[in-house]
Amino acid sequence: MPLKEGDIVHLIDRKGKKYQIMLKKGGSFFFHRGSVSHDDIIGLEEGSIVKSTRGEPLFVWRPTLSDFILKMRRGAQVIYPKDIGAILMLADIFPGARVLEAGTGSGALTLALLRAVGENGIVFSYENRSDFLEIAKQNIQTFFKHAAAGSEVGIGKLVLRQQDIYEGIAERNLDRIILDLPTPWRALKHVKASLRSGGILLCYLPTVLQVFKLAKRISKIGGFSITGIHELLMREWEISGISIRPAHRMVAHTGFIFVARRLAEEEN
């Protein structure tokens, strides 16, 4: 699909640095190695190479979801792509699923959930802060309108709520509930009432003390079976000439992923 005005693209230099721009007729991108006219990019296919006025070659790509998340506007800190991928698998997010997340934050996980549940699924997203909710709305609209590759693929219905999940959950018979909250144990009684038997609760927590407290509370309230506690570390490798070695920096600890399943009533 040729690039068109209004598309968000990444220009990537020979060192791998990414520059995100929205294409506009008559516009120009300026950086330390010259400039590139947007008109020279519009109409090209993804994967083309353009040269700046100083001869710097730049790859042109539509951003992946991972790329977009790392560059998008932030209110709250986002969940890193390495953890989002694991969350989608560990929570078993499937096409047609009814999923609730809290809090929305900047919308990083929301974007991934909407793609994963497909056009027959629905994502309910609770966020207590209006400023975060507005940023998330803008990020979600921007990605699916201007950046998403293969945007003809159906995405789930989104219901954004400015609501404190600690005060209750309106929805019932949910397949999955994902909590990115500092004190998720305060929502357990509402989660228990809203999650169907066999449904999955996944909590994302930055510290081991939070994991410990959640495990104690979830055992006390009953109705759940803890199925896993996970931490993901990701290290990139670099190739330079005949040398291949680990990158000097890595995305190490970002958070723990705590997973539990809802028991049938007779097992509570």
CATH of the domain at 94: 3.40.50.150
Average pLDDT over residues 1-8: 93
The predicted pLDDT at position 148 comes to 79
Residues 123 and 13 in one domain: no
Residues 56 and 186 in one domain: no
Residues 100 and 225 in one domain: yes
Three-state SS annotation for 53-118: CCCCEEEEECCCHHHHHHHCCCCCCCCCHHHHHHHHHHCCCCCCCEEEEECCCCCHHHHHHHHHHC
CA–centroid distance for 221 within its chain: 30
In the chain, the number of structural domains is 2
Residues 150 and 32 in one domain: no
Look at residue 1 and tell me if it is in a domain. no
Contacts of 72 (CB under 8 A, 6+ apart): 78, 106, 107, 108, 139, 142, 143
The percent of residues above 70 in pLDDT, for the chain, comes to 97
DSSP string, 190-232: HHHHHEEEEEEEEEEESSHHHHHHHHHHHHHH-SEEEEEEEE-
Residues 127 and 227 in one domain: yes
Residues 89 and 44 in one domain: no
Residues 168 and 36 in one domain: no
* Tokens read off for 255: 């958070």
**Domain stop point among 34, 62, 90:** 62
The predicted pLDDT at position 241 comes to 85
Q: 125: which DSSP letter? A: E
The predicted pLDDT at position 137 comes to 96
pLDDT digits (tens, 9 = 90+) for 197-244: 999 999 999 999 999 999 999 999 999 999 999 999 999 998 888 899
CATH of the domain at 36: 3.10.330.20
The predicted pLDDT at position 153 comes to 63
The yes-or-no verdict on residue 253 having pLDDT over 70 is: yes
Residues 19 and 74 in one domain: no
Q: Which residues pair with 177 in a beta bridge?
A: 100, 201
The predicted pLDDT at position 1 comes to 84
- Element housing 110 (H / E): helix 108-117
The predicted pLDDT at position 216 comes to 98
**Domain stop point among 62, 77, 105:** 62
Residues in the chain: 268
The yes-or-no verdict on residue 150 having pLDDT over 80 is: no
Residues 205 and 228 in one domain: yes
Residues 55 and 170 in one domain: no
Look at residue 2 and tell me if it is in a domain. no
pLDDT digits (tens, 9 = 90+) for 24-80: 999 999 999 899 999 999 999 999 999 999 999 999 999 999 999 999 999 888 999
Domain boundaries, position 189: 66-267
> What is the C-alpha separation between 128 and 96, in angstroms, rounded?
26
Look at residue 3 and tell me if it is in a domain. no
Q: What is the mean pLDDT of the chain?
A: 94
Sequence letter at residue 81: P
The yes-or-no verdict on residue 267 having pLDDT over 60 is: no
**Which residue has tokens 């357990």?**
188
> What is the C-alpha separation between 234 and 34, in angstroms, rounded?
34
Sequence letter at residue 5: E
Residues 54 and 148 in one domain: no
The predicted pLDDT at position 262 comes to 98
Q: 143: which DSSP letter? A: I
**Domain stop point among 42, 62, 82:** 62
Look at residue 101 and tell me if it is in a domain. yes
Residue 101 · residue 164 · CB < 8 Å: no
Residues 40 and 132 in one domain: no
Hey, CA dihedral for 254, 256, 261, 265, is it positive or negative? negative
